Amino acid sequence: MEAKVEDRPAARVETPAVPKESGDAAPAALGELKMKAKDVNLWYGQKQALFDVNLEIFDQSVTALIGPSGCGKSTFLRCLNRMNDVIDICRVEGDIRLEGQDIYAPQVDPVQLRARVGMVFQKPNPFPKSIYENVAYAPRLHGLCANKTELDEVVETSLIKAGLWEEVKDRLDQPGTGLSGGQQQRLCIARAISVNPEVLLMDEPCSALDPIATATIETLIDELKENLCIAIVTHSMQQAARVSQRTAFFHLGKLVEVDETSTIFTNPTDQRTQDYVTGRFG
Amino acid sequence: MTDQTASLASFTSEAATKKLRKRHRAERRFQMYGIAAILFALAFLVFLFASIFSQGWTAFLQTSIKLPVDFSQEVINPSGNPDAEDEIFQANYVKLAREALYKQLGVDPNDRKARRAANELLSRGVDVQLRDMVLRDPSIIGTTEDVWLLASDNADALMKGSIDRETPSERRQVSDEQIAWIDQLVDAGNMKKRFNTGLFVNGASSNPETAGLGVALIGSFFMMLTVVLLAVPLGVCAALYLEEYAPKGKIADTIEVNINNLAAVPSIVFGLLGLAVFINFFGLPRSASLVGGLVLTLMTLPTIIITTRAAIRAVPPSIREAALGVGASKMQLIGHHVLPLSLPGILTGTIIGLVQALGETAPLLMIGMVAFVVDYPTTPLEPATGLPVQIYMWASSAERGFVERTAGATMVLLAFLIVMNSLAVYLRNRFERKW
Ligand SMILES: Nc1ncnc2c1ncn2[C@@H]1O[C@H](COP(=O)(O)OP(=O)(O)OP(=O)(O)O)[C@@H](O)[C@H]1O
Ligand SMILES: [Mg+2]
């Protein structure tokens, strides 16, 4: 596994950094290859949930994972920051690399990995602490700030980036759980980006939100992708079309197709993808 | 379509209204059963409290007689040497008290019968009372001081009305002469019921008027201390390990089943275990509150483990994911989130465990804590009793004074239990975080 360092440049060749023009969509400007999953198989006990998944996600872009319920989108996403480690019965095989480094290698500490690969969950889950504490928690945990002033700064920039600063700057000491659902989800995003992760994984971040809050978060995702690699699971085709540059379609634990978002939605290769995006099943 | 209209109509039909009424009646009846059950339980509680309270409240008062006691040098310290402690210790203090009483009542010192009758008014514990006064402050030797001396059990009972004056004198435990003396003393303000501090500070005694809960309170305190210091850290650590680290599987299941079984083991079995292990094997002293504490620790441990595990399990998984997702290690997850969030549950469980332990009697019987201990234990290794054991011992004595003390001690124990339970409720509300 260690010997395959040349995987990375090879992968770059396979997928052209400048994708082909298609329709009216502006050419998606993809950054460098950030994470690469190769032949990932995953079992929950006896039951196999992922079958030979091969997927690459690129920096400074949003990759959407779509597919019918139970097809393994969340499962795959959780492989990318080893959140599956905490599930006893879960077993992962295959090769997942972050910037060429095998993240399942024994010398990799999952705790550190999760600081580099942040995650936002389906249900907003702020800590039952103050807004400030919610955002300050991770930088403090990883010892990123030398003093209180720096920490204040990090909290402020994270909240600004998450588009929440204006709404909460006067009540940072109030419980984060007292915010509205959409605000809570942005607080969770602020918490996730407070340690400057390289990759942000989002598992249906808008499924518990109303359209307005959803729109706010979509704008936010659009801004965040300028310096981040984002992978997002969504059930909304429109959302995938709006925010992502590339889309991966999962079905029954298999990655069926991955391509530029516009291609997936207008001209997919696989019949199942066609059926799914046109709403014929799923 | 037709089917649906038919079924809609059936909701307003005669039969349907009847059914609806019947359902409402059934619901009301069900509520009534519940209310009746609660009232029944409450009635018992009220009855219990009322009976204990009516019997026990007099235990908090104790009759005393004020006498000008002459601490005469000849009786206490005839050698005149202030360092002769043995002499002072063994002096005839009863004589001092009695002479003061004869003078007060105007009893002829040569009338043996009258003297004996007067003696019966004073408690047999007065010598200790006077001796302690002298030992505390030897400078009173040679002076005369007014001292409130304990009255005897019978005099106390008469004052409290549990000996009826109307009873014919030959069947009454207090003679007419004695009643006259008592009335004389009461009228002069020299005999009355005062708050019974002795109940809380005295050790064991065969005279009810000088018996107290002091040793039992200290013993119970040492035992609770042992339980808190051992059972809480052990229980919380065990629960944390089982919930957070232990691999789920056959072994974990076996442990779980066994902990649940342990919680159901009759407490006397723990007493036998304590006797066999701590006393016979490790050679710890009998009757020591440390052994009692260890046995109660074993008994409380399962309760604490079970409640702590439940509290840990109640921490929302989303909080765990959130913490792990930002890169908290398992230890940090536990220290920063799991423990603080489950603290109210852990505290409640701990206090409930302590309350159980405080009221437990049977295992203490097995390790010899049913003991007649006069002196305060200064370390947990010295013989002591416990509150419930003291109640048990007093309950088996027939004297009137012990009957009322049994109820009084029960009130003290209940007060502790109620205070601790309220504390549990308070802490739970205080620390419970709402989200
Ligand atoms: N902790 C788990 N233990 C056992 N099986 C699991 C676990 N989590 C997921 N699975 C199974 O793995 C498969 C994929 O689940 P996953 O949650 O990844 O689906 P998903 O694509 O995210 O679905 P949804 O869109 O409904 O969230 C499902 O069949 C599910 O039952
Ligand atoms: Mg999912």
Give the model confidence (pLDDT) of B345-402 as tens digits.
899 899 999 999 999 999 999 998 888 888 899 999 999 999 999 999 999 988 888 9
Same structural domain, B194 and B227: no
B263-286 average pLDDT score: 91
Q: Which two tokens stand for residue B301?
A: 């441990």
| pLDDT for the residue B242 | 92
Q: Whose CA is nearest to atom 16 of ligand 1?
A: A72
pLDDT score recorded for residue A249 = 94
Model confidence over B333-360: pLDDT tens digits?
999 999 999 998 899 899 999 999 999 9
User: What percentage of residues in chain B have a pLDDT greater than 90?
Assistant: 48
Q: Is the CB of B327 less than 8 angstroms away from the CB of A112? A: yes
User: What is the number of structural domains in chain B?
Assistant: 3
Task: Please state, rounded to an integer, the average pLDDT across all residues of chain B.
Answer: 89
Note the pTM of the prediction, 2 decimals. 0.81
Is the CB of residue A125 less than 8 Å away from at least one CB of chain B? yes
Residue B2's pLDDT is 52
| Cβ-proximal residues to A258 (8 Å cutoff; 6+ apart), any chain | A55, A56, A246, A247, A248, A249, A264
Indicate whether B88 and B222 sit together in one domain: no
- In this prediction, residues A123-149 reach a mean pLDDT of 91
Tokens representing residue A116 in the block: 């580099």
Domain holding B189, by residue range, is 61-201
At B171 the pLDDT is 85
pLDDT of residue B34: 96
Percentage of residues in chain B having pLDDT higher than 70: 97
Identity of the residue in B316, B326, B433 whose CB atom sits nearest the CB atom of A137: B326
Q: Which residues pair with A61 in a beta bridge?
A: A229
Instruction: Tell me the CA end-to-end span of chain B in Å, nearest whole number.
Output: 47
Taking CA–CA distances from B335, the nearest residue in chain A reads A141
Q: Does residue B208 lie in a domain region?
A: no
- Mapping DSSP to helix (H, G, I), strand (E, B) and coil, where does residue A52 land? strand
CB contact at 8 A, B388 and B400: no
Q: Given this model, what pLDDT does residue B16 score? A: 85
The answer on B179 and B247 residing in a single domain is no
Position A25 pLDDT exceeds 60: no
Does position B427 have pLDDT exceeding 80, yes or no? yes
CATH number at residue B410: 1.10.3720.10
ipTM of the complex: 0.82
| Chain A residues inside the 8 Å CB shell of B343 | none
What is the rounded CA–CA span in Å between residue B144 and residue B189? 19
A126: chain B residues, CB-CB within 8 Å: 322
DSSP letter at B58?
Answer: G
Question: In Å, how far from its chain's centre is CA B185?
Answer: 35
The mean of the pLDDT values for chain A is 86
B297 and B394 in a common domain:
yes
How does DSSP classify residue B29?
H
Confidence (pLDDT) at B109: 82
Q: In this complex, which of B321, B332, B433 lies closest to A128 when CB atoms are compared?
A: B433
Partners of A155 on chain B (C-beta within 8 Å) are none
Per-residue pLDDT tens for B204-223?
888 888 899 999 999 999 99
A3: confidence class by pLDDT, cuts 50, 70, 90: very low
User: Can you tell me which atom of ligand 1 is nearest the CA of A73?
Assistant: 21
Closest Cβ opposite residue A86 in set B318, B324, B332: B324
- C-alpha distances in angstroms, B393 versus B55, B196, B208, B371, B373? 17, 20, 12, 9, 12
Which of B36, B57, B78 corresponds to the end of one domain? B57
Q: Which of B201, B236, B255 is the last residue of a domain?
A: B201
User: Measured between alpha carbons, how far is B307 from B349 in angstroms, rounded to an integer?
Assistant: 5
pLDDT at A86: 85
Q: Whose CA is nearest to atom 6 of ligand 1?
A: A44
Domain membership of residue B192 (yes or no) is: yes
pLDDT at A26: 45
Q: What pLDDT score was predicted for residue A29?
A: 66
Instruction: Give B156 Cα–ligand 1 centroid separation in angstroms.
Output: 78
Q: What is the pLDDT of residue A281?
A: 67
Q: Are residues B184 and B44 in the same domain?
A: no
Whether residues B371 and B349 fall in one domain: yes
Q: Are residues B137 and B155 in the same domain?
A: yes
Domain ranges across chain A: 2-123+196-277
pLDDT score of B435: 47
Of B262, B266, B220, nearest in space to B420 by CA: B220
Q: Which of B154, B172, B201 is the last residue of a domain?
A: B201
Does one domain contain both B14 and B152? no
Q: Calculate mean pLDDT across residues B237-260.
A: 90
- Whether residues B242 and B176 share a domain: the answer is no
CA B327 – CA B17 distance, rounded (Å): 62
Q: What is the predicted pLDDT for the residue at B168?
A: 86
Confidence of residue B17 (pLDDT cuts 50, 70, 90): confident
Residue B320: left (phi > 0), alpha (psi -120 to 50), or beta?
alpha
Q: Give the DSSP letter string of B349-411.
A: HHHHHHHHHHT--HHHHHTT------SPPSSTTSB---HHHHHHHHHT--SHHHHHHHHHHHH
CATH 3.40.50.300 fits A2-123+196-277, yes or no: yes
Query: pLDDT tens digits for B305-321?
Result: 999 999 999 999 999 99
Task: Return the number of CB contacts < 8 Å for A and B.
Answer: 63
Which of A111, A116, A144, A158 should one mutate to test binding to chain B, selecting the residue with the greatest count of B CBs within 10 A?
A111
CA A192 to chain centroid, in Å, comes to 11
Spell out which residues line ligand 1, taking CB within 6 angstroms.
A 44, 49, 67, 69-75, 87
Is B259 found in the same domain as B176?
Answer: no
Q: Does residue A13 register a pLDDT over 60?
A: no
